[in-house]
Structure 1
């Protein structure tokens, strides 16, 4: 059995966290100088372990094993949210390096912009053939509006071709990731084998009323868009729990009022609402329920309401063979301190699963904290996760 160099694995993780260091975390947003420095650092490490690295026109980095025969693809991403954690994404990429260093037939990948600064999983979707040139032309930074084309030019990526993954080359894809939640920690467990990645549906709910004076307009005359929008949320809160699955989650993450002034009745309200589950049947049921709720408030209220679906991603179920290999390895190394579990967060693996078998492994997040510089995991749990991953990868390559 190949034994990964756990000391070098930890050393690489700590070296990578120095690039864009912010407090105990990192600030390495997509296509910033810090992000591009980290990609160049990664390519050097790939060469050191015998891989042949290449970076494409979106910043995806792929290190290919030079030997013959089928490979495993292993990786994640290395850019970060603003002022965020040192392990989110980086753990999976550095784990891939460790497997390559141990002599395994793996390609290592760092997908670009998993954190969606310029779009939704641009890197992994591009590598499975889903991103068009028109989408790249239209993409803008989610905060400052900078065009993606400009960012690529400034990062030195303009004109480089985009890579496509060849599913015939691979037995599958493995991604090691921090949990970004509290289930493992609260259960006193040290590892989680992912059963699948939640599908997501997200919507814009709009209420249009009449902007007016808060003092001069009687209650009988008012068409308050804010009140109508809050009625929708109240009905969701009341009715969703009766129709959800065991691990369904839902969130209204954005509320926009116009004109959003203290002495003016809101003439327009906009909600961005999403729900997630591992079952398409549950997602269908909740979309039907949400449609009925919006229609009912529209029928009863003096404001006009509408519902627009902004996007969806299908659940991705872990490949049975790869999942089984991870379960066996977790049983061997974690001494009963592991569990199967779904991923509520979405990952690059969800898109790679469209063209090849996929499985994921979670390691605990201290306090469940992620997307924040305080994100952390015990080093002994990091080492354990690498050993489980290596064991499972070896079995998958031998099968």
Structure 2
């Protein structure tokens, strides 16, 4: 007999599945191209469904394509399924156009490994566990990102999500039907007991600190804006520099000023990104009359985000006054900071300690499906390091040991949230799904 505390996942099996999944949409540079609701996504979904079915899990699909592979709790309770809210474990299988092999699939396949480990050892849990594959987490083909979990949590409207289009004009609705993954299950509207997501960090902090596990306490807030600076079009050759109302010159001062303010006043957690810049009329020999730039502000504290937004507006005012230009800042999207459940945070921390892994608390810098599940259930996240902090890149990489460590922490955090039955001892391992309890 084996103590529950000694239970560990099969790291070789997990790594094998990660490698097999990575062959779907594999790129020559070692990454994956597996956009949401594409043929490659369909093949990944089919493989996940086959693996779940081999474990005797009941797979259901909802109206936005979210997949749930359910392992029931104790048999013979007589309680209807809706009265036994599950613990949900998982992430996503879609990728960026030139994405990595682990962003998303690690969370789905580690959750599947957790369930298979419980099956092998005959451990029944006090409530069901569902392994989830959320639809269109990346948002690379269909905006917005985190779509499936957003509809599930009622943050997004189902009709709006189904009507979203890709650059070729195909709707989400048509794409789901084309790959055969519009399910009959209603989207959301049912209780879940808690949710846990394992993910690569997508940043350098864990690796730089030599730490094995990130205990994610929340996700930083984000605010998106479009800034337009308006000047006056003029001839590039005949208009003296002193006579120009040049919006590009105003933008140059603004970029330098606001970057300096964020680095000085909002370190170390403040983030500022200008991703898209454009000048009009985009003629080589014309002083532009208008420039636009996208702005991405992030910080884990909402009040500090207010201060960062104020600094943004002050920098725009100062830069445009100097050049006689006008400016306008349009709101695009706001996502408040997220604080995860204390119970889930404690479960992850305790699981890392139990398994002997070093851990540290941290705030997620990127958005994840857990942002949305946190709206409807206690939620937690686990991070493992990724090489060089590189993600959304074909060079994204982790080691088999890091994948195994994350899955072991996911296993024991899950067991703390869903008490096993019996709670003290395990039967001898079995290779048959649903072994003796």
The TM-score by the shorter chain falls in which range? Answer: over 0.9
Q: Secondary structure at the match of 2:327?
A: strand
**2: CA distance, partners of 1:7 / 1:238:** 47
Q: Secondary structure at the match of 2:96?
A: coil
C-alpha deviation, 1:387, in angstroms: 0.9
**2: CA distance, partners of 1:107 / 1:165:** 16
C-alpha deviation, 1:296, in angstroms: 3.2
From 32, 36, 41, give the equivalent of 2:42.
36
Q: Is 2:93 aligned against 1:71?
A: no
**2: CA distance, partners of 1:372 / 1:31:** 20
1:61-100 matches, cutoff 5 A = 61-67=67-73, 69-100=84-115
From 362, 371, 381, give the equivalent of 2:383.
362
Counterpart residue number, 2:160: 135
From 328, 334, 344, give the equivalent of 1:312.
334
Give yes or no for contact 1:207–1:229 (8 Å, CA) kept in 2: yes
C-alpha deviation, 1:235, in angstroms: 1.8
Counterpart residue number, 2:53: 47
- Unaligned runs of 5+ residues in structure 2 are 75-83, 119-124, 421-437
Select the structure of larger CA radius of gyration.
2
TM-score, normalization by structure 1: 0.93
**2: CA distance, partners of 1:377 / 1:180:** 11
TM-score, normalization by structure 2: 0.85
In structure 2, relative to structure 1, the CA distance for the partners of 1:334 and 1:262 (3 Å cut) is farther
Q: Deviations over 1:154-179 (max 9, x none)?
A: 33346856521523x41x11000001
From 121, 134, 140, give the equivalent of 1:111.
134
Give yes or no for contact 2:93–2:105 (8 Å, CA) kept in 1: yes
Of 343-352 and 123-132, the range deviating more from structure 2: 123-132
Q: Secondary structure at the match of 1:75?
A: strand
Give yes or no for contact 2:61–2:182 (8 Å, CA) kept in 1: no
In structure 2, relative to structure 1, the CA distance for the partners of 1:209 and 1:379 (3 Å cut) is same
**2: CA distance, partners of 1:204 / 1:130:** 23
In structure 2, relative to structure 1, the CA distance for the partners of 1:263 and 1:14 (3 Å cut) is same
Q: Is 2:370 aligned against 1:378?
A: no
From 5, 13, 26, give the equivalent of 2:32.
26
Bigger relative CO (Cα 8 Å, ≥ 6 apart): 2
Give yes or no for contact 1:50–1:100 (8 Å, CA) kept in 2: no
Counterpart residue number, 2:211: 189
Counterpart residue number, 2:187: 163
Q: Secondary structure at the match of 2:313?
A: helix
Give yes or no for contact 1:206–1:229 (8 Å, CA) kept in 2: no
C-alpha deviation, 1:137, in angstroms: 5.7
Cα RMSD of the aligned pairs, angstroms, is 2.0
Counterpart residue number, 2:80: none
**2: CA distance, partners of 1:277 / 1:227:** 28
- Pairs aligned (count): 395
**1: CA distance, partners of 2:63 / 2:302:** 34
In structure 2, relative to structure 1, the CA distance for the partners of 1:162 and 1:217 (3 Å cut) is farther
**2: CA distance, partners of 1:85 / 1:272:** 25
C-alpha deviation, 1:129, in angstroms: 1.7
Q: Deviations over 1:326-370 (max 9, x none)?
A: 1112123244x3211111111000111011111111111011111
Counterpart residue number, 1:285: 307
Q: Secondary structure at the match of 2:199?
A: strand
Give yes or no for contact 2:151–2:158 (8 Å, CA) kept in 1: no
Counterpart residue number, 1:201: 223
**2: CA distance, partners of 1:230 / 1:146:** 38
**2: CA distance, partners of 1:67 / 1:392:** 17
Counterpart residue number, 1:13: 18
- Unaligned runs of 5+ residues in structure 1 are none
Q: Secondary structure at the match of 1:110?
A: strand
C-alpha deviation, 1:242, in angstroms: 3.8
In structure 2, relative to structure 1, the CA distance for the partners of 1:186 and 1:300 (3 Å cut) is same
Q: Secondary structure at the match of 2:418?
A: helix
